[in-house]
Amino acid sequence: MLDNTDIKILDELSKNSRITMKELGEKVHLTGPATSARVEKLEDSGVIEGYTIKINQAKLGFNIHAFITIITQSTNHKPYLSFIKTQEQYLVSNYKISGDGCYLLECKFPSNELMNQFLEELNEHANYKLSIVINK
Amino acid sequence: MLDNTDIKILDELSKNSRITMKELGEKVHLTGPATSARVEKLEDSGVIEGYTIKINQAKLGFNIHAFITIITQSTNHKPYLSFIKTQEQYLVSNYKISGDGCYLLECKFPSNELMNQFLEELNEHANYKLSIVINK
DNA sequence: CTGTTTGACTTTATTATTGAAAGGAGTTAA
DNA sequence: TTAACTCCTTTCAATAATAAAGTCAAACAG
């Protein structure tokens, strides 16, 4: 399905998705159009889901990076799920997990105050365990 | 520091980082060169850390998405840290955290067998708690 | 009040890239 | 052998990026 050239293309696009097809072609020993055709195939097959940027969230003021394990008491998760939908400004991701807890939230907060407020509102719907990221 | 136009630029680039500067300019009501200058400023200031792609890892065979909380018994973390450096093919991220555990690992595995093997080797250096992602 | 500087933008013109079309080489199957 | 297919290259027209010059308004010093 994917050969070494495709893997190399994915690798290079991961490092710099704004590279020109011509330049990417040079890295994988193909011409621009050939490279472009391969990239289009990777898009169509769904291997490449999209092109995006890495944003330094700390520079936008979101300095606190937290993982929150959610334990819902109730069997009805809807109140919890609709609550987190209202908190998209903080949420990076919400994962349903097996193991310890029901969900794992990855969040970024600009201050302890706003995190505290979030946690208080969260507590109306579920219990949680908080882990703060110190370093990556 | 950042005005609404910059925020809009970041938003559009997050959705599609391969958009042309001309097209991006139309979305924020600027010309191509003006947009390009703003993007360059965002790069220089470090707000934009890089351009990348979203890869569907499941299509590459990495179907198992796991979060692993690490609890090291020993105060010397070096053996653990050098072990995970050898496992980069599975590791998405390693976070040092406060709270429950010392580290949080985010990993992707192609099979239960390989995950099991990873966990057995991991267990030589640290205890862990495993959470498997069921849905995002 | 006037003149200067600065920053952010537009316009213009050159250069580079993209994308479409045509064609070649190698592989497979009837 | 021939036809169909895939994957690539070459060519060229359309488009975008980039550099340079010019415009405009705000801030500020004399």
A12 touches strand C (CB under 7 A): no
- Tell me: do B93 and B127 sit in the same domain: yes
Do residues B115 and B86 share a domain? yes
Do B97 and A66 touch, CB atoms closer than 8 A? no
Contact B18, A48 (CB under 8 A): no
Give the C-alpha separation, A87 to A105, whole Å.
11
What are the backbone angles phi and psi of residue A61, rounded to the nearest 5°? 100, 0
**A34 and A80 both lie in a single domain:** no
In angstroms, what is the C-alpha Rg of chain B? 21
A97 close to B (CB below 8 A): yes
Same domain assignment for residues B72 and B20: no
Residues A61 and A126 reside in one and the same domain:
yes
Query: Per the domain annotation, does B49 fall within a domain?
Result: no
Residues B71 and B15 in one domain: no
Residues linked to residue B131 through DSSP beta bridges, in sequence order: B67
Do A80 and A123 fall within a single domain?
yes
Which candidate from A10, A55, A96 shows the least CB-CB separation from B47?
Answer: A55
- In this prediction, residues A16-28 reach a mean pLDDT of 97
Per the structure, how many domains does chain A have?
A: 2
A51 located within any domain: no
Average pLDDT over chain B reads 94
The alpha-helical segments, DSSP class H, found in B54-103 are: 78-85
Confidence of residue A82 (pLDDT cuts 50, 70, 90): very high
In-domain check, residue A117:
yes
Confidence of residue A60 (pLDDT cuts 50, 70, 90): very high
Mean pLDDT, range A93-98, rounded to an integer? 94
Note the pLDDT of residue B73. 81
Distances from the Cα of B21 to the Cα of B13, B17, B33, B71, angstroms: 10, 10, 7, 47
Residue A73 sits in the same domain as residue A37: no
pLDDT bin (cut points 50, 70, 90) of residue A31 is: very high
Distance of CA A38 to the CA centre of its chain: 25
The mean pLDDT value of chain A amounts to 94
Interface residue A4 vs chain B (CB under 8 A): no
Domain-embedded: residue B101: yes
Give mean pLDDT, residues A35-61. Answer: 95
Does B15 sit within 8 Å of A52, measured CB to CB? Answer: yes
Assess B98–A contact: CB distance below 8 Å, yes or no. yes
Q: Does B111 fall in a domain? A: yes
- The residue range of the domain holding A119 is 57-132
B91: which chain A residues are within 8 Å (Cβ-Cβ)?
none
Angle at B54 between CA B53 and CA B60, to 5 degrees: 110
Q: Which residue reads 């351009």 in tokens?
A: B51
Same domain, A61 and A40: no
From the CA of B31 to the C1' of C4: give the distance in Å. Answer: 28
Residues A37, A61: one domain?
Answer: no
Encoded tokens for A9: 């293309």
Residue of A nearest to B2 (CA): A60
- Domain for residue A49, yes or no? no
Does residue B106 lie in a domain region? yes
Q: Do A59 and B69 touch (CB under 8 A)?
A: no
Task: Give the pLDDT confidence of B72-84 residue by residue, as tens digits.
Answer: 888 889 999 999 9
**pLDDT of amino acid A49:** 97
Residue B120 forms contact with A (CB below 8 Å) = no
The DSSP call for residue A20 is: -
CATH number at B19 reads 1.10.10
Within a domain: B52: no
> Lowest-pLDDT range, A65-69, A72-76, B52-56, B128-132?
A72-76
| Single-letter amino acid, residue A2 | L
Q: What is the DSSP string of A22-87?
A: HHHHHHHT--HHHHHHHHHHHHHTTSEEEEEEEE-GGGGT--EEEEEEEE-SSS--HHHHHHHHTT
Residues B21 and B61 in one domain: no
Helix (H, G, I), strand (E, B) or coil at A94: strand
Tell whether the model's pLDDT for residue B92 goes beyond 90: no
Chain D: nucleotides under 7 Å from a protein CB? Answer: 7-11, 15-20
Which pLDDT band holds residue A122 (cuts at 50, 70, 90)? very high
Q: Are B81 and B25 within one domain?
A: no
At B91, which CATH number?
A: 3.30.70.920
- The pLDDT tens digits of the residues spanning A104-119 come to 999 999 999 999 999 9
Per the structure block, which two tokens stand in for A120?
């208080």
Angle A12-A13-A17 from CA coordinates, rounded to 5°: 135
Report the pLDDT value the prediction gives residue B45, as an integer from 0 to 100: 94
ipTM field: 0.87
Establish whether the CB of B38 is closer than 7 Å to any nucleic acid atom in strand C.
Answer: yes
